[in-house]
Amino acid sequence: MPTIGPLKLKAQILLDAVPAMGPGKADLLEAIDRAGSISAAGRDLGMSYRRAWVLVDEMNRCWRERLVETQSGGGAGGGAKLTDQGHRILRAYRSLEAKLAKAAAGDDLEILTALLREDMAPAVERA
Amino acid sequence: MPTIGPLKLKAQILLDAVPAMGPGKADLLEAIDRAGSISAAGRDLGMSYRRAWVLVDEMNRCWRERLVETQSGGGAGGGAKLTDQGHRILRAYRSLEAKLAKAAAGDDLEILTALLREDMAPAVERA
């Protein structure tokens, strides 16, 4: 997710309380697109296969069409790729993030950055 | 924090890993401004006095000047109010949030909203 100076932004698309898309899921989609499998994508992100599979399952259940399709056989070693819908949703999410980052850069953030200390002041012993 | 349809946004100003400002701290500042004390503000937000005090202490240590000043005596029952700096930082943060919310409304979010299901699809029993 975009970090601009001291600002950290997080955008989530929620379906009820479940994040249908967010920074971690978008990273996972990109990793699947690169690696061609859920297990390899999970490994690339330092995530267990089970965790990666749960995130993919949540995404597939939150959107009208699947975002990731697995090849028949489909076990831990099977291939996986993004559907057209998966690409479309990923693109829209990354574009939204970029617009947020652009909107954040400006005078409010400059004021906040200028007023922030460089290091946190030490805790004061209370009598 | 702004929620726009299915989108949840979160903006944090970090000093090292500590959130110097974020949705919860901004709410707490507003509650202190209304209630005139840290304990009453915490109660209004369903937060323990200890928790409210820790958040105020973190804020006061992250910024160049204090955001909240407590009246002498300063125990759990003492009064508290925002400093000019506290008002200024709160105003800049809320303004930043509003700009993010405005930037988020648009075609990317429309695409994402249209592709999202209305309810999560049920989990499928796996053979």
Report which residue type is found at A124. Answer: V
With the CA atoms of A58, A60, A62 and A64 taken in that order, what torsion angle do they form, in degrees rounded to the nearest 10? Answer: 180
H-helix segments, B9-106: 23-35, 38-44, 49-62, 84-104
Residue A119 has pLDDT above 60, yes or no: yes
B105-120 residue pLDDT tens: 999 999 999 999 999 9
Confidence of residue A2 (pLDDT cuts 50, 70, 90): confident
Domain ranges of chain B: 3-101
Q: Return the DSSP state at B77.
A: T
Residue A38 has pLDDT above 70, yes or no: yes
B83-112 residue pLDDT tens: 999 999 999 999 999 999 999 999 999 999
Min Cα–Cα distance to chain B from A11, Å? 5
Confidence of residue B125 (pLDDT cuts 50, 70, 90): low
Which residues are within 8 A (CB) of A17 and not within 5 positions of it... i.e. 6 or more apart?
none
A48-64 residue pLDDT tens: 999 999 999 999 999 99
Residue A74 has pLDDT above 70, yes or no: no
Q: Find the residue in A nearest to B59 (Cα).
A: A120
**Residue A119 · residue B106 · CB < 8 Å:** no
* Architecture of the CATH domain A8-102: Orthogonal Bundle (1.10)
Q: Do B61 and A120 touch (CB under 8 A)?
A: yes
* pLDDT, position B100: 97
Tokens of B55: 């958040």
**Which of the four CATH numbers 3.40.50.1010, 3.40.190.10, 1.25.60.10, 1.10.10.10 does domain B3-101 have?**
1.10.10.10
Q: Return the DSSP state at A121.
A: P
pTM given for the model:
0.89
Q: Which of B95, B108, B113, B125 would you mutate first to test chain A, the one with the most A CBs within 10 A?
A: B108
* pLDDT, position B127: 53
The residues with which A7 forms a beta bridge, in sequence order, are: A4, B13
Report which residue type is found at B19. Answer: P
The interface residues of chain B toward chain A in range 39-98, judged by CB-CB distance below 8 A, are 57, 60-65, 85, 88-89, 92-93, 95-96
